[in-house]
Amino acid sequence: MKGGIVYLSVEGFLDAHTFEMMDAEIQDQFEQGNYRVIIDLEKVEYISSAGAGVFIGNLSVAQENEGEIILIKPNDNVKEVFDLLGITLMFKICYDLREAVSAFPA
Amino acid sequence: MLTRGTLAISNSTENLPKVRSFVLDHFRKGPLPKSEENKIILAVDEAVANIIEHGYPADVRDGKIEVEIVGEMTRFTVYVRDEGSSFDPNSISDVDIENHIKTGKKKGLGVFLMRKIMDEVVYHFEEGKMNELKLVRYVPEKKKETPSGGGGQTL
């Protein structure tokens, strides 16, 4: 098993102004060999396609390395954007940290 | 007319929260139900973010972007105008999200969302002068009530 489980808590807006910071953080974890990533979205008030694109664009890299990107606690507005993009079923979305930890591939 | 206003910003993503706040203010005075709020804000944010990213050369810091909102009884209209390169979002084909995931593509989703949310996405440009993107969302029609015990006939 490569790396441990990484927990990232995000706050504020994930839009065209901030998405690069989120992307850099995930890339940084990948470079350290951590491909099992939990991203806590509870404090994210708003997400645009630029923000969602970071998760979309990094998911396959995580999965190719026996990992996963698991999104937890998105609010209704964030979940609505995932639904509009049609990615709700492509990501593991959890509402509890314990559930998220046990959702990683064995 | 329920609400009308114009916001002028420069081509920086730092201004996106200002755009969203402007849309929210007018949305609340406009005709659409609360359930549309996040979507309309998103559609306008995507339109402006596209212009910031693609409309002006990277070294241009004072590119003009204007957002005008007209909220009427039956529809909520947003005009996004700029003086950068012309770009018709309708020239972009729909997104294959599975392919995005498979290939690790992170961008190119904004136009897809804009078209999905709005009833009309109309692009107009005057060569070398101005580009205008018109986004329209109509007020959803209320469902006609079926008379009770009337056998389901719709009036």
pLDDT mean values, one per 10 residues, chain A (106 residues): 83 97 97 97 98 97 96 97 95 95 88
Classify residue B111: in a domain, yes or no: yes
Contacts of A21 (CB under 8 A, 6+ apart): none
Total domains, chain A: 1
Is the ipTM here above 0.85?
yes
pLDDT for the residue A42: 98
DSSP per-residue codes, B59-100: T----EEEEEEEE-SSEEEEEEEESS----GGGSPPP-HHHH
Q: Is B22 on the interface with A (CB under 8 A)?
A: no
Domain enclosing residue B18, as ranges: 3-138
For residue B92, what pLDDT band results from cuts at 50, 70 and 90? confident
Question: The tokens of B62 are what?
Answer: 């004072």
Q: Which residue of A has its CA nearest to B49?
A: A16
Asked if B106 lies within 8 A of A80 by C-beta distance, the reply is no
Does pLDDT of B123 surpass 80?
Answer: yes
Classify residue B31: in a domain, yes or no: yes
User: Can you point out the beta strands (E) in A1-106?
Assistant: 5-14, 36-47, 68-72, 92-94
Indicate which CATH number applies to the domain containing B77.
3.30.565.10
Classify residue B143: in a domain, yes or no: no
A15, A49, A65, best to mutate vs chain B, most B CBs in 10 Å: A49
pLDDT for the residue B149: 45
Reported as a single tens digit per residue, the pLDDT across B137-151 is 999 987 655 555 444
Of B49, B103, B104, the CB nearest to A48: B49
Q: Which chain B residues are closer than 8 Å to A16 by Cβ?
A: 13, 16, 45, 49, 52-53
Domain enclosing residue A34, as ranges: 5-102
Indicate which CATH number applies to the domain containing A72.
3.30.750.24
Total domains, chain B: 1
For residues B105 and A58, what is the distance between their CA atoms, to the nearest angstrom?
Answer: 8
